[in-house]
């Protein structure tokens, strides 16, 4: 689906979060990101979202850099109908690719989830949800937040952690308060053997990204050391990275984020590969707006994605979503948007309220 583009608009937004998310990477209180609108000759437009963070602390990409590479390289090439020849920058690439795909699907009246399901099996219409909880300054605050998520019907709670004693104590406190709660932790590459061993005592569903992204051998050694499944996030950047991780035994669960691997179709292929290799698979979140969350929800609905998604309802993240709300049902399951394409569209006045920069390029 590569209909010629007649215009591409970039919109940089800064969206305040309901509450900051603290992790080993730092703190996110305002989501600074780039939205992409791709326009076709018939007037149809589609939207994509660049999931890079404001600073290059998660991957090497960051918002300002993504804006520059889109503006100077990817958008001109797309309008001219040529390959940009850009190395790296998968999140920027994925944003433009998603916008193009969304436009093409809207023009055909076809849903994104149907497009992905055609090649990868019949998708679900709702997906079980994980609540991702950031590092807390006080255990009482953390317990109160976890209680809210449990009451909302989440399938699993995942705590952001580091080796700091306060984080280790927080995990133990949550486990003590909810002995039967499915519980996981995410170290974002910060854990060592000692902290991993202590965390493993809390009967965890999995430990996500204990070692740095590129250190698959350490992750493999950790997987052998503790009797807890290891999930890989930052390490999975491509098919080659996935195959290497599987070969060395670095993990048995894969967290897929479409931006990190270059787009939705690539992510769907990786999900199927991981599933066929016997891995558990889930779709992670990047504190997206409704644009990115709706697109990722379609990926999370595929049969290969067997574990609860990190994606949540709009109300978990922001006071006012930029698009129609991405919602959960009465049982706490995330609903895949029902409209054509990604199923949601930015509401102009809400977009205007948070936009800090714009660029429109035409063919």
224 an active-site residue? Answer: no
Given a cut of 60, whether residue 70 has pLDDT beyond it is yes
**pLDDT cut 70: percent of the chain above it:** 99
* HEC letters along the chain: CCCCEEEEEEEEEEEEEEEEEEECCEEEEEEEEEEEEEEECCCCEEEEEECCCCCCCCCCCCHHHHHHHHHHHHHHHHHHCCCCCCCCCHHHHHHHHHHHHHHHHHHHCCEHHHHHHHHHCCCCCEECEEEEECCCCCHHHHHHHHHHHHHCCCCEEEEECCCCHHHHHHHHHHHHHCCCCCEEEECCCCCCHHHHHHHHCCCCCCEECCCCCCCHHHHHHHHHHCCCCEEECCCCCCHHHHHHHHHHCCCCEEEECHHHHCCHHHHHHHHHHHHHCCCEEEECCCCCCHHHHHHHHHHHCCCCCCCCECCCCHHHHCCCCCCCCCCECCCCCEECCCCCECCCCCCHHHHHHHEEEEEEEEC
Of 12, 160, 272, 293, which is the active-site residue?
A: 160
Give the span between the Cα atoms of 245 and 199, in whole angstroms: 23
d(CA 344, CA 126): 16
Res. 20 pLDDT band, cuts 50 70 90: confident
Assigned token pair, 143 = 């317990």
- For position 119, what pLDDT does the model report? 87
Average pLDDT over residues 314-342: 93
| CA 10/CA 150 separation, integer angstroms | 38
pLDDT of 137 above 90: no
Of the residues 31, 111, 120, 257, only one is catalytic, namely 257
pLDDT for 26 equals 82
The reported pTM is 0.95
**Tens digit of each residue's pLDDT (9 = 90 or more) over 164-218:** 999 999 999 999 999 999 999 999 999 999 999 999 999 999 999 999 999 999 9
Buried b (16+ CB within 10 A) or exposed e, 157-186: bbbbbbbeeebbebbebbbeeeeebbbbbb
The pLDDT of residue 1: 56
User: May I ask the CATH architecture of the domain 116-335?
Assistant: Alpha-Beta Barrel (3.20)
At residue 321, the pLDDT reads 94
Whether the pLDDT of residue 2 is over 80: the answer is: no
Mean pLDDT estimate for the chain: 95
Give residue-wise pLDDT tens across range 232-283. Answer: 999 999 999 999 999 999 999 999 999 999 999 999 999 999 999 999 999 9
Query: What angle do the packed helices 290-300 and 112-120 form, to 10 degrees?
Result: 30
Assign domain 5-109+345-362 one CATH number from 3.40.309.10, 3.30.230.10, 3.30.390.10, 3.40.50.300: 3.30.390.10
Residue span(s) of the chain under CATH 3.30.390.10 come to: 5-109+345-362
**What pLDDT does residue 19 have?**
86
Range scoring the smallest mean pLDDT among 19-33, 67-81, 233-247, 272-286: 19-33
CATH 3.20.20.120 placement within the chain? 116-335
Q: Which residues contact 353 (CB under 8 A, 6 or more apart)?
A: none
- What is the rounded distance in angstroms from the CA atom of residue 258 to the CA atom of residue 270? 10
The per-residue pLDDT for range 117-130, each reduced to its tens digit, is 998 889 999 999 99
d(CA 353, CA 319): 13
Output Rg (C-alpha) for the chain, integer angstroms: 20
Q: What is the rounded average pLDDT of the residues 73-83?
A: 96
158 part of the active site: no
């Amino acid at each position: 689906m590569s209909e010629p583009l007649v215009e591409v608009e970039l919109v940089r937004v800064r969206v305040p979060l309901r509450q900051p998310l603290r992790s080993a990477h730092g703190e996110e209180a305002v989501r600074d990101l780039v939205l992409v609108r791709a326009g076709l000759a018939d007037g149809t437009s589609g939207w994509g979202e660049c999931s890079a963070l404001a600073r290059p602390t998660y991957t090497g990409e960051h918002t300002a850099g993504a804006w520059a590479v889109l503006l100077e390289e990817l958008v001109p090439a797309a309008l001219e109908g040529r390959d940009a020849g850009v190395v790296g920058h998968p999140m920027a690439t994925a944003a433009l690719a998603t916008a193009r795909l969304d436009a093409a699907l809207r023009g055909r009246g076809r849903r994104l989830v149907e497009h992905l399901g055609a090649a990868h099996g019949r998708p679900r219409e709702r997906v079980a949800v994980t609540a991702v909880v950031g590092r807390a300054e006080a255990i009482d605050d953390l317990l109160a937040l976890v209680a809210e998520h449990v009451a909302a019907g989440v399938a699993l709670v995942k705590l952001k952690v580091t080796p700091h004693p306060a984080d280790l104590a927080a995990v133990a406190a949550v486990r003590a308060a909810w002995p039967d709660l499915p519980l996981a932790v995410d170290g974002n590459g910060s854990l060592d053997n000692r902290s991993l061993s202590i965390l493993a005592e809390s009967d965890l569903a999995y430990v996500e990204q204990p070692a740095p992204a590129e250190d698959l051998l350490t992750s493999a050694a950790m997987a052998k050391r503790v009797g807890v499944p290891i999930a890989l996030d930052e390490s999975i950047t491509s098919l080659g990275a996935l195959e290497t991780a599987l070969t060395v035994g670095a993990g048995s669960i894969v967290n897929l984020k479409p931006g990190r691997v270059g787009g939705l179709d690539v992510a769907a292929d990786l999900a199927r590969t991981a599933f066929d290799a016997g891995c558990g698979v889930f779709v992670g979140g990047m504190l997206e707006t409704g644009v990115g969350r709706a697109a990722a929800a379609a990926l999370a609905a595929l049969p290969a994605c067997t574990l609860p998604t990190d994606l949540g309802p709009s109300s978990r993240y922001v006071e006012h979503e930029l698009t129609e709300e991405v919602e959960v049902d009465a049982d706490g399951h995330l609903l895949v948007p029902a409209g054509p394409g990604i199923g949601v569209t930015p509401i102009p006045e809400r977009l205007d309220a948070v936009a800090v920069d714009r660029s429109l390029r035409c063919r």
